[in-house]
Structure 1
């Protein structure tokens, strides 16, 4: 996933998988995405409204709605219901209908809603890939509904999926 610029909340998701020869093969055409309101950061802290730069595992999914066919462990719960508003006044209703936890400051193998923060609460957490709500996020990655469903069905824990994310320059390093 590459952001347009270090301070941009607009990004593009590119999905690849290893081929039989150990190379990389594009799986889908690029998808539009949103990230943190203040762009990207190499030192994320709680409430800084920036998305952490790095390579993180993707091991657990969940959401308000039933599992759409995810291969990842899926945690359906009413705790994912959100009725607030985003930074631009847009409704957050449905933003957490489906989520994939990004393994930044969390214990892999636990539900996305788990509040354990191995790096400490001050380093933030609860970073998800979730449904787009029409604006920038606190620090998560947001995808359109159709793409979010495709992602959930495609991710395979046996392939040890990861997300490499940051602005274009950070991802190129």
Structure 2
């Protein structure tokens, strides 16, 4: 095999492993997502919490955002059903598959599937005329996600200041003693 023939396979493997990571990114709701809330003590801590929680709970935040969008369509049931079908299409055709999409012995690449689903989604939003619903749902989801990401204490939270904030030196003299300058 030549190196050029192995390159697409490596790229495909990376794409499918990324899709698998996204699929498995939803954390347990009651054991993990809805526990351990405190106020951050400083802006650096707030920033650190936000970054860690956005990465850790990205799957949960995506589910919440989609639910908020569907709830904003409660007075438009036909449109809500159409977008539920589109969301299921995204999940099945883009995120949940581990192998290339094959229809009538023709293999569709991830890029073509992504472009097709994006065009279908944008056309559906334009035809349904729900730009305001989409904007409102994005604002509400951003607010809720940010609030959760800031208030939830990460499990592996370690202060960026390390031992500087420690009141009791657990290791004793091994960390070194202060000396007068």
Q: TM-score range by the shorter chain?
A: under 0.3
Bigger share in strand: 1
Bigger share in helix: 2
Greater RCO structure (CA 8 Å; 6+ sep): 2
Higher Rg of the two aligned structures: 2
